Amino acid sequence: MNIVLMGCPGAGKGTQSAKLQQKFDLYHISTGDVLRAEIASGSELGKKIAAIINDGNLVPDELMVSMLEKIVSATDKGIIFDGFPRTVAQAEALDAMMKRLNREITEVVMIDLPESEVVSRISSRRQCKKCGAILHVDLNAPLTACPACGGELYSRADDTPERVKHRLEVYHHDTLPVKNYYQNSGKYVEVNGNQSPEQVFEDISKVLEKVK
Ligand code: AP5
Ligand code: MG
């Protein structure tokens, strides 16, 4: 089973991927995490990527696709694609890549969230440097360490309200056309992301139980 998980910034792709990965024994690829790992490595490529993603823009399709193909080729497990494809060109490249690897996309799940929720959700997000956990913190009494592993928590450089607004514009312009690309494929479903994480997980799980 190979799943594409779509949704605007803050829709809950990372939160749901962590749960789905465990339940369905899938390999989780977040292209955002892949790019942030390249930045953290301190490489020259990472410096170029930082300049792009910290402003909330997309890295070029060819670079993203070539980084992704290496990761996909290295696993035999079913995959959750989180944050990819983000352009129609990436969606076409993904189809071609999966065909070459004798695989196919099983289902495309869109987590639907009203934009009015996005800035406040993302402002309250912290991520653990050690275990990668995504947390929703109370800004009046913010956590100082990860409750799961004690690791240091951080806010992403692209999570300021201004950058989030720009990321939403990019989402509209470049990524919403991907929804049209998949909508007539018979593999596209939407779930309501504006409910508790547990309820969203239940709804996505029901969809995946049917296709696994
Ligand atoms: P990426 O890291 O993918 O960011 P994004 O798509 O903007 O999405 P987020 O990670 O911000 O949100 P999410 O949907 O994962 O939500 P989360 O679960 O964390 O990409 C970052 C950048 O990298 C891009 O802008 C671009 O520059 C570049 N990039 C990445 N992929 C690329 C590609 N394919 N091509 C080119 N460039 C690419 O949840 C958010 C918060 O809400 C958390 O605090 C969480 O606890 C909370 N929350 C989650 N679910 C719920 C719920 N149901 N109710 C209440 N709170 C919830
Ligand atoms: Mg994410």
User: pLDDT tens digits, residue range 68-106?
Assistant: 999 999 999 999 999 999 999 999 999 999 999 999 999
User: pLDDT tens digits, residue range 22-39?
Assistant: 999 999 999 999 999 999
Ligand 1 pocket, residues with Cβ under 6 angstroms: 7, 9-15, 30-32, 35, 52-53, 56-59, 64, 83-84, 86, 90, 121-122, 124-125, 134-136, 158, 167, 193, 196-197, 200
CATH assignment at residue 182: 3.40.50.300
32 exposure class (CB count in 10 Å sphere: 0-12, 13-18, 19+): middle
Element spanning 136, H or E: strand 134-136
pTM beyond cutoff 0.85: yes
Around 89, how many Cα atoms within 13 Å sit in the side-chain half-sphere?
Answer: 10
Q: Establish if 154 belongs to a structural domain.
A: no
How many structural domains does the chain have? 1
Domain that holds residue 164: 3-114+160-209
Q: Which candidate in 48, 121, 156, 165 is catalytic? A: 156
Residue (of 109, 33, 35, 93) closest to 61 by Cα position? 93
Q: Establish if 18 belongs to a structural domain.
A: yes
121 catalytic per annotation = no
Q: Establish if 53 belongs to a structural domain.
A: yes
User: pLDDT tens digits, residue range 53-64?
Assistant: 999 999 999 999
- Checking if the pLDDT of 212 tops 90, the result is no
